[in-house]
Amino acid sequence: MISTAARVLIPSATAFALGIVFAPFLAGVLYKTKAWKKRAGKGNGIGGGGTPIFDELHKEREVSTPRMGGILIWASVLATAFFFWIFAQSLDTYWSALDFVNRRETWLPLFALAAGAIAGLIDDFLEITNGNGGLSLARRLSIVGVIGLVAGWWFYAKLGVTTVGIPFAVPLSLGWVIIPFFALVTVAIYAGGTIDGLDGLAGGVFAIIFMVYTGISFGAGQASLAAFTATVAGATLAFLWFNIPPARFYMSETGSMALTLALAMTAFSSDALADGVGVFVLPLIALPLTLTVITTVLQVFWKKVFHRKLFRVAPIHHHFEALGWPAAKVTMRYWVITIIAGVLGLAISLLARVP
């Protein structure tokens, strides 16, 4: 019989191998089609006005490095899931243990990954073809919000989830409010996806976060969910191999939307369904994403109220870049922060499960 550890590690290694093999082909297509932005910069910032500092920092790479590199991640994950599903249907029960696709643990994360990938791909395609930006922020937030509401309804109506785990305390009962709460968390995590912007930053951060949730799911006995998160981590590490400076391609929206939506579903799936605290520890485990959202909101607030900037550039990782930090230093320090925050979140999650 295949061990639980093997059920987790084999799909992860498979996704990594598929990504490594597929990456040169994807890079060739992206460079051949010149799948990069036609005009550098962000245009208008979230809070209104231009983004001159950011535009200056990224004026060359944005118009010479392809987008859509996130295809490598979700394609590797979905191919791995499909491969082991087919494998399980075709062979005996010994090998069927490697199939991690099931209704209770991984249907929603896989659905969210695919839905985010498609929506993000449309945004990226519009970005590189018309040169005036892709889908508006309002439209992207609406898409994410709708997916969050649908997922929240599924948890409430189909899986009977009405509570959120609290460490060392009784779960918080939300009743039907779990649906809008689910959507709110999903939108917040998606907003943190703007961490994509420096070579290797988003890839390293997301790989670590999904590794941590692999540990949480494994500790809760959710072998299928652990296999899914490990598979995402493996595919993201394959992407990171080609995204380390100088990046061959950027993750862009098709990658960040797929990963953030899958992360939100993973957090909820590792919560009440496993008598865990997956949602409570999410802001800590995903600390770089949390800081991205908080510093962006603070920047907008400061500009509206005090008519000046709090940071030179927001999110804060670009602030450090604007101060003169080499991009590689910012990236690697973010990796370190993510590891430390992830270990703390994992410890809280595991300790909270102790009777």
114 strand-pairing partners = none
The size of the chain, in residues, is: 355
Is residue 338 within 8 Å of 207, Cβ to Cβ? no
Nearest by Cα to 235 from 87, 18, 39: 18
Buried b / exposed e across 220-254, counting CB within 10 Å, b at 16+? bebbbbbbbbbbbbbbbbbbbbbbeeebbbbbbbb
**Average pLDDT of span 327-354:** 93
Q: The tokens of 95 are what?
A: 């090998």
pLDDT digits (tens, 9 = 90+) for 165-217: 999 899 999 999 999 999 999 999 999 988 877 899 999 999 999 999 999 99
Please confirm whether the linkage preceding 66 is cis (ω < 30° from 0): no
Token pair recorded at residue 69 = 């590199």
Q: What is the DSSP letter of 186?
A: H
Question: Tens of pLDDT along 249-299?
Answer: 999 999 999 999 999 999 999 998 899 999 999 999 999 999 999 999 999
For the stretch 92-142, pLDDT in tens is 666 788 899 998 899 999 999 999 999 999 999 998 887 667 888 899 999
Nearest C-alpha neighbor of 263 from the set 275, 272, 255: 255
Identify the pLDDT of residue 69: 96
Confidence band of 40 (pLDDT split at 50, 70, 90):
low
Kindly tell me if the per-residue pLDDT of 44 is higher than 70.
no
225-259 residue pLDDT tens: 999 999 999 999 999 999 998 899 999 999 999 99
Q: State mean pLDDT over 295-306.
A: 91
Let me know: does 50 contact 269? Beta carbons within 8 Å. Answer: no
What number of other Cβ atoms are within 10 A of residue 271's Cβ?
Answer: 25
